[in-house]
Chains A and B, each alone.
Chain A
Amino acid sequence: MGAINSDAIRGFNDIIILYHLLDKDSYGYEISRQIEALTHGSYLIKETTLYSAFSRLERNGYVAPYLGAESFGKQRTYYTLTQAGREYYQEKCQEWLKVKAVIDSFIRGAESQQEQ
């Protein structure tokens, strides 16, 4: 698997980021590392994308920031998923499944899987 085109994945960054907050709180670098690990190096999320996403998610009330453990003299900004954020994540997952079903109809080899 080669590297993923960041344009292709743009609409899904929210899902990708919120996924990491489902079970525990986390912070920037840890999430970025996890994304690289889970995609086996296929998706190296740009920092500009990641941190502006945090900003946006916070502004929309989907995540809440708080200052946590110190590292090298600076406090880490941890994020926790809010209830609204959890609901938003579910919505986005549903959206993806619908999109996936639609697009699969046009993928040679995958069309047969679409009953409708």
Chain B
Amino acid sequence: MEQIKNYIEALFSSLPKTDEVLRMQINMLSNMEEKYHALLGEGKGQAEAVGLIIAQIGSVDDLKQELGLLDQAPQGALQAEAAAEAAIGSPALSDNPLRQQYFEFKRKMGLFIAIAVGLFILAPMTMALFIGFAHFPAFGFFSFFLCIAVGVGILIYFFTQDEKYREELDLKKAKRDRKTEAISSTLWIGTVILFLFIGFFLNMWHPGWIVFLVAAAIQVWIDYRAKA
């Protein structure tokens, strides 16, 4: 009977653990147990009973296929996956294995961002420490850049991973279309050029920086128009 339990657990292991799926699993297990005892009652040996039962259960693919076809409409592979998701009940954040993985990842990312920031703060501190000792002032610069480099490396790694997950899970906000992107880019590049111009030629760096605030306001207006 243990083997039957294990087989059924393995069968369901890769499926999202929604209420519906779990009830199906329990139902199947309970009925297979009854069948097992019925077969023993007929005089079959334990091994034979287990063999007969497992042979008639079906495979993981069978199960996935049955769940995928729940809507009973002719569907392409992609739609079947989506139908399977909908059929087994809308997966909460913790159901989809990939989402669960992403959730775990996000936690790690939070931790490492904190570590990276810690390193950034640590950088000048280590520099001050080494220079204070005066024996090896060069070490100060070395440790400073090392801390910054590691911190930046951590951030780059985690943000690229995050992008991958978002793309995979289709979480990207598709709000910005190409036109808006183009306009926004032009706006900021233009603002930088304007700033440099009035800085170098009119020497108005000081009030000049306001152009960036104006650009930010214009960006908000652009986003507003894009939504409409």
Residues of A within 8 A of B (CB): 10, 27-29, 32, 44, 46-49, 51-56, 59, 71-72, 74-77
Tell me if B33 is interfacial: C-beta within 8 Å of chain A: yes
State the Cβ distance, B205 to closest chain A Cβ, in Å: 67
Residues of B within 8 A of A (CB): 11, 20-21, 23-24, 26-35, 37-38, 56-59, 62-63, 66-67, 69-70, 87
Q: From B20, B26, B37, B63, give the contact of A72 (CB < 8 A).
A: B37
Contacts of A44 in B (CB 8 A): 56
Cα–Cα, bound, A46→B60 (Å)? 12
Chain A at the B interface: SS class: helix
5 interchain residue pairs of minimum CB distance:
A48-B58, A28-B31, A52-B66, A46-B58, A29-B31
21 contacts between A and B (CB under 8 A): A27-B31, A28-B27, A29-B31, A44-B56, A46-B56, A46-B58, A47-B31, A47-B32, A47-B57, A48-B62, A48-B63, A49-B66, A52-B63, A55-B20, A55-B23, A55-B24, A71-B30, A71-B33, A76-B30, A77-B23, A77-B30
Residue of B nearest to A70 (CB): B30
